[in-house]
Structure 1
Amino acid sequence: MSLAFSRAEYAARLDRLVVRMAEEDLDAMLLFAQESMYWLTGYDTFGFCFFQSMVVTRDRDIVLLTRSADLRQAQITSIVEDIRVWEDRDGASPVLQLRDLLEGMGLKGTRLGVEYDTHGMTGRIALDMAAHLSAFASLHDHSRLVERLRAVKSPAEIALVRKAAALTDAAYEAALPLVEPGAREGEILAAMQGAVFAGDGDYPGNEFIIGSGREALLCRYQTGRRVLGENDQLTLEWAGAVRRYHVAAMRTVIVGKPAPRHVALHAAARDALEAVEETLVPGRTFGDVFAAHAAAVDARGESAHRLNACGYSLGARFAPSWMDWPMAYRDNPAVIEPDMVIFMHMILMDSDSGAAMSLGQTYLTTQGAPECLSKLPLDLPVKAG
């Protein structure tokens, strides 16, 4: 299997990381986020649910410590040449083996950046790190260091994002003809995911969200399937994914005749999305984006039905979530830059009336106005009963 990017691309990423490490006076980074390892070297696995760490030094050395099951995974999918295996055995401490590795690399007594805020770093690992490494070296939380670098996409990454966007649209276009009274949610879901696979896409970082009836008010995946009724509502949140790069979208489709609440909520969501588009420009913040969304929704008198966030960055992500840093919530100071990929979701859920409404799509930021990556219409989707 070929690498997702050229070796020159990976070298440029390492250059950027080394510069940031120097700015933070770090002698090495201990990477635990699978996204960081993938971005830096192409290493692609789900073995991050077990202990593994990638050591990156300011001298540009890269060493991966992982399990035997992931040895060949790293050899085939990445540019990493120095791969060490920690041994599975009763009472084994991979952190002690990491310490031995670091000592062999001459990193005793140095300043080490650590990715703590990631699914690859469990509480047990953090406790073991504190017990076995705190006297060995100076440990510093730099969970956002690589994350910030990943937020701005290269031209090669944007090319993959555009392919993912085409699969996003294809998934919806495959599903919409199936939405009718008597349709099974499972068949709709199969059509959507099947369209992504048929286009040589990937599993997404989290499950597609599908819910009808009362479950249309949910914005998380849940088990169990319904059959659509004569008058129904269907919330869909999905993403095309190519080489782990995601482009997400969200819609609530009405089966039968829309209720007045559906029409009102859709109008508020459309206003909010337009306000967000005007704000999604370089120099503004993710907090500004949330404020624009909130003001538009509140102006329609729907403040009680909106969420406390309205979107987030997207990129190459692994389970359990495709959400990336930064997120659009109140007062978030993270600044919008060109070449970010940002999913904006206007979600309005009225538990009093039981009406659900969502409208979301992904944008590529530019030097000016954002580019919408989807060609899907924003009108209220209605399928006659």
Structure 2
Amino acid sequence: MSKNDFTAEEFAGRLARVRAAMAVRELDWLVAVHPASIHWLTGSDAKSYQEFQCLLVGAGDAPLVVLTRQGEVHEFETDSLADAVHGFGGGENEDPIAAFAELARRHGLPGSRVGLEVPAYYLHPHHYLALRDLLGEALVGEATDLIAGLKLVKSPAEIDYIRRAAALADLGMARFAEDLSAGVSELALAGGVYETLLRNGSGIAASPINLVSGPRSAYSHGAPTARLLERGDFGSIEFGATSGRYTATIGRQFALGAPTPRMLELHDVVRRACDAMIATIRDGVPATVPHAAARAIIGEAGLGPYRVHTSGYSLGPGFPPSWAEPLHMIGDSPYVLKAGMVVTIEPPVFIGPEGLGARIINNVLVTPTGAELLSRMPRDLIVGE
């Protein structure tokens, strides 16, 4: 994504919404740290999340000011909507918090009311503590959810990117099904998927491919290995495709040769759980409801103890290590589904004692009256020879 991927009007609308939310919280400044927040407001695709970075968003007509490591300054200047870009580090070590302190004084953050994003992965605890001490009483609250909440409902242009990503994901899964055979390694299968995705225009997704088979098929997020597939194997594959950094995910179960009755049973339970979720999704439904529907199906099959983690979550522009947004469909979720959200459907069952697991992953667009399935790839068990 860059500043050219959306119209100036769409970016301006996003900034206006952020400033309106800041006004509700009585914030003079928002210090955005999450790369997805910076990306959503400026279009920047820079890899600056590897070090300290932030975007200063002021109330009124204040300029958008970026602080980033020196190596990314030129990219921000030429490929983002930041009004001013300041770098630190250069060819020598430099304390980024000292650079932030100078920038904060220049723009009047001390003595004002400041909200700070405190996202997982992207803000070192040492930096957070230093920012808290530096801002003192000016830091009136954490605002990690401010931009993240505004991003959940997608614009028509964002949905177009996600549809393209979903079509690319289907191509990758079709390539996997074509290559699936005994004697092929998990890594080779993953290589075919990636080759298809990149050759057809996908970017590199934020999270790497999960691919497990045989004795590893109960690993819920196992990476591919050099293991050669054998007849009798059961397994699963999950990956993401991107368009303009917007992600679509897909996951399927597979078997080498005729699947056993237990394999077919697990696949059937998970698929029915997916269908139960999709049947409940529409505008205004609490995010707990689809989760409860999947949980009921899995529980009725006697597999409740092996149901693991969330039943699905919202998707947006992804930066390593995750493409997930804050909304999760799980028992204590505070969120409500809204038309324009894109969520994954993936209630999983992984049975360690049996060495078997099953998960089918699809993405749906929440609509006023239901859910639109974005993938065109069949959800049947993929059977290879």
Structure 1 length as normaliser, TM-score?
0.96
Which residue is equivalent to 1:11?
12
1:170 & 1:204 partners in 2: Cα distance?
15
Which residue is equivalent to 1:362?
363
Which residue is equivalent to 1:79?
81
* Alignment deviations for residues 273-299 of structure 1 (CA, whole Å, 9 cap, x no partner): 111011211111111121111011111
1:20 & 1:151 partners in 2: Cα distance?
14
Structure 2 length as normaliser, TM-score?
0.96
1:318 & 1:256 partners in 2: Cα distance?
37
2:14 & 2:104 partners in 1: Cα distance?
23
Which residue is equivalent to 1:277?
278
Q: Which moved more, 1:148-157 or 1:278-287?
A: 278-287
Which residue is equivalent to 1:203?
204
Alignment of 1:27-46 (within 5 A): 27-46=28-47
Which residue is equivalent to 1:228?
229
Task: Point out where structure 1 has 5 or more consecutive residues left out of the alignment.
Answer: none
What secondary structure, in the 3-state scheme, does the structure 1 residue paired with 2:326 have? strand
CA contact (8 A) 2:114 2:140 kept: yes
The number of residues matched between the two structures is: 383
RMSD: 1.6
1:271 & 1:200 partners in 2: Cα distance?
33
1:168 CA displacement: 0.6
CA contact (8 A) 2:236 2:251 kept: yes
What secondary structure, in the 3-state scheme, does the structure 2 residue paired with 1:100 have? helix
Alignment of 1:221-260 (within 5 A): 221-222=222-223, 224-260=225-261
Which residue is equivalent to 2:72?
70
Which residue is equivalent to 1:159?
160
1:236 CA displacement: 0.2
The one-letter code sitting in structure 2 at the alignment partner of 1:200 is G
Closer, same or farther: CA 98–154 of 1 in aligned 2, 3 Å = same
Which residue is equivalent to 2:294?
293
What secondary structure, in the 3-state scheme, does the structure 1 residue paired with 2:282 have? coil
The one-letter code sitting in structure 2 at the alignment partner of 1:77 is D
CA contact (8 A) 1:118 1:143 kept: no
1:33 CA displacement: 0.2
2:197 & 2:326 partners in 1: Cα distance?
24
Closer, same or farther: CA 288–122 of 1 in aligned 2, 3 Å = same
1:290 & 1:366 partners in 2: Cα distance?
18
Closer, same or farther: CA 351–106 of 1 in aligned 2, 3 Å = closer
What secondary structure, in the 3-state scheme, does the structure 2 residue paired with 1:201 have? coil
* Alignment deviations for residues 81-126 of structure 1 (CA, whole Å, 9 cap, x no partner): 3111224587733223212212211232111110112322111111
2:260 & 2:78 partners in 1: Cα distance?
54
CA contact (8 A) 1:311 1:342 kept: yes
2:224 & 2:383 partners in 1: Cα distance?
25
CA contact (8 A) 2:362 2:375 kept: yes
2:231 & 2:89 partners in 1: Cα distance?
58
Task: Point out where structure 2 has 5 or more consecutive residues left out of the alignment.
Answer: none
What secondary structure, in the 3-state scheme, does the structure 2 residue paired with 1:217 have? coil
* Alignment deviations for residues 224-243 of structure 1 (CA, whole Å, 9 cap, x no partner): 32100011122100111111
Q: Which moved more, 1:344-353 or 1:311-320?
A: 344-353
1:168 & 1:242 partners in 2: Cα distance?
10
1:325 & 1:54 partners in 2: Cα distance?
20
1:26 CA displacement: 0.6
Matched, 1:376 2:360: no
Which residue is equivalent to 1:48?
49
Q: Which moved more, 1:359-368 or 1:73-82?
A: 73-82
The one-letter code sitting in structure 2 at the alignment partner of 1:362 is N
Which residue is equivalent to 2:178?
177
Identity of aligned residues (%): 26
CA contact (8 A) 2:186 2:224 kept: no
Matched, 1:99 2:101: yes
